[in-house]
Amino acid sequence: MCLPVFFTSFTTLAVVALGLKPQPQEPPHLPSLPLIGSLLSLWSPLAPYILFKQLQRKYGHIYSLKMGSHHVVVVNHYKDAKEVLLKKGKTFAGRPRTVTTDILTRDGKDIAFGNFSATWKFHRKIVHGALCMFGESSVSIEKIICAEAKTLCSVLSEAASAGHSLDLSPELTRAVTNVICFLCFNSSYSRGDPEFETMLEYSQGIVDPVAKDSLVDIFPWLQIFPNAGLRLLRKCGSTRDALLQKKYDQHKVDYSDHVQRDLLDALLRAKRSAENNNTAEIRDESVGLSDDHILMTVGDIFGAGVETTTTVLKWAIIYLLHYPQVQRLIQEELDTKVGSGRSPKLSDRGNLPYLEATIREVLRIRPVAPLLIPHVALSDTSLGDFAIRKGSRVIINLWSLHHDENEWKNPELFDPGRFIDSKGTGLILPSSSYLPFGAGIRVCLGEALAKMELFLFLSWILQHFTLSVPPGDELPSLEGKFGVVLQPAKYKVTATPRQGGAINEGETL
């Protein structure tokens, strides 16, 4: 018998018989801890999100497990996910502490791993404001992304003329990193710039461990960094911090109250105005604007903004290689709506529904953060019919939401058409079981930016090139490698220039 049904009917019976108010039960618990620990390890060829999806059959949509001293609740249905993220967003807005995030964020002085607090709210507000600023400013984020898209296309052109296939991964990383650099520091890097190479190196050394370790406490089999790993992480962390500190010092020197160049300036301005303000509320907030806080917040934007966006681009290209007919449809749409005489702009987004649908489908079928970032219950509360204790870690299994057979027809099938209406012209959202950026007060801060980047990079590439697997190579695998960020394996592409698809060198954006 299904466990939750049993619990529910039993409770209902008790209520009817005794006229009592139902006492919420804790969610069904996986069998005793040491056993399940080893059981999970035995099954480890299955990625945790796939295992968690399967465990629903036995335990229902919500169940709990104990790992070490941590009580972990796993949520697999969108209705419960929305209760956690939206309806009770504040109650579930905590984050767990882990060894690596403490090292890298100086004990949670950032946004992504900081607990819900006045300081955290204040940081989010400043960063959000700075991101919005770029929508309007003269050097708009659109120009920056397009400049990077152009460079990307030149690299593809060179490879095509030389008859080479290439691994796009480093090029995509550079393009995405440059967009973030511009946002944070009003600077960008050309290929081969030593400071840029340093940045790429430390990013690699950080993203993976952090992504994994924030879950290590929960999934012990991911524990792959004993001391050597931590040493490397500390080293990469201090390289990162030195670079951030350098940028910060330069900004302090050039700072002016009248010009806001970038995110660092926005944070500096908030710090100054807090320091000059005597009201109690602002003084409290100024506690959250130490140099540490500012550096960690900027570091966060790199951590959260680069790997995620790059990974989605890599998945999108893999699916285009597997589904050349999807690639053709996007190109036809581009040819009709944009033509070959100019480059795609953000204002074309509304006219290119099939490209937009393809991006949505990539984010559905391969969510980069299949388990989001763990949340923590900040007080005793409930979820559905279940009681949740303060301090429980709550894992939203986005994979279950995005592959729910009751919500998506053939969820394993890549089909951008599911996001297109029956007339074939408009975008739809066929199910509410879709949260690629999370939701509520912890929703991704970079959602709008990420969507601009995905749209512009993909439209520029596909306007100019047709991508295919190099002759003799196999199609890249559609299975990812799990490290919280769901990574595709390395692969190469051949870019064939399209007719009339020459990059218009003199074009102004």
Ligand X SMILES: *[C@@H]1O[C@H](CO)[C@@H](O)[C@H](O)[C@H]1NC(C)=O
Binding residue numbers for heme: 444
CA 67, 439, 212, 240 torsion-angle sign: negative
Q: Of these, 378, 448, 478, 503, which contacts ligand X (CB under 6 A)? A: 378
Residue 359: phi and psi, rounded to 5, are -65, -45
Using CB under 6 A as the criterion, what x/- string covers residues 226-265 for binding ligand HEM?
----------------------------------------
Q: Kindly tell me which of 273 and 496 has the beta carbon lying closer to ligand X.
A: 273
Residue 221 DSSP code:
G
d(CA 32, CA 347): 56
259 binds, among ligand HEM, ligand X, none (CB under 5 to 8 A by kind): ligand X
Distances (CA, A) of 486 to 48, 85, 230, 478: 11, 22, 22, 11
Q: Kindly tell me which of 108 and 353 has the beta carbon lying closer to ligand X.
A: 108
- The SS3 of residue 70 is strand
Residues 104-143 that bind ligand HEM (CB under 6 A): 111-112
Q: Of these, 149, 207, 376, 495, which contacts ligand X (CB under 6 A)? A: 376
d(CA 440, CA 87): 8
Q: Does 29 bind ligand X (CB under 6 A)?
A: no
The footprint of ligand X on this chain (CB under 6 A) covers a number of residues equal to 19
Q: Does 401 bind ligand HEM (CB under 6 A)?
A: no
Residue spans of alpha helices (H) in 43-140? 48-59, 78-82, 99-104, 118-136
Give me the least distance between CB of 116 and ligand HEM, in Å please. 9
Q: Does 369 bind ligand HEM (CB under 6 A)?
A: yes
Distances (CA, A) of 178 to 147, 189, 291, 361: 10, 6, 24, 26
Residues 311-340 that bind ligand HEM (CB under 6 A): 312
Residue 164 DSSP code:
-
Q: Does 444 bind ligand HEM (CB under 6 A)?
A: yes
Identify whether the C-beta of residue 397 lies closer than 8 Å to the C-beta of residue 52. Answer: yes
Give me the least distance between CB of 102 and ligand X, in Å please. 8
Give me the least distance between CB of 39 and ligand HEM, in Å please. 27
Residues 108-137 that bind ligand X (CB under 6 A): 108, 113, 115
Work out the end-to-end distance of the chain between its first and last CA atoms, rounded to an integer number of angstroms: 63
Q: Are strands 465-468 and 386-388 parallel, antiparallel or unpaired?
A: unpaired
Q: Longest Cα pair distance anywhere in the chain, in angstroms?
A: 81
Q: Of these, 98, 169, 178, 309, which contacts ligand HEM (CB under 6 A)? A: 309
Identify whether the C-beta of residue 460 lies closer than 8 Å to the C-beta of residue 343. Answer: yes
153 binds, among ligand X, ligand HEM, none (CB under 5 to 8 A by kind): none
Q: Does 437 bind ligand HEM (CB under 6 A)?
A: yes
Residues near ligand HEM (CB under 6 A) are: 85, 111-112, 300-301, 304-305, 308-309, 312, 368-369, 372-373, 436-438, 442, 444-446, 449-450
Residues near ligand X (CB under 6 A) are: 94-97, 108, 113, 115, 139, 186, 259, 261, 273, 276-277, 279, 282, 376, 378, 391
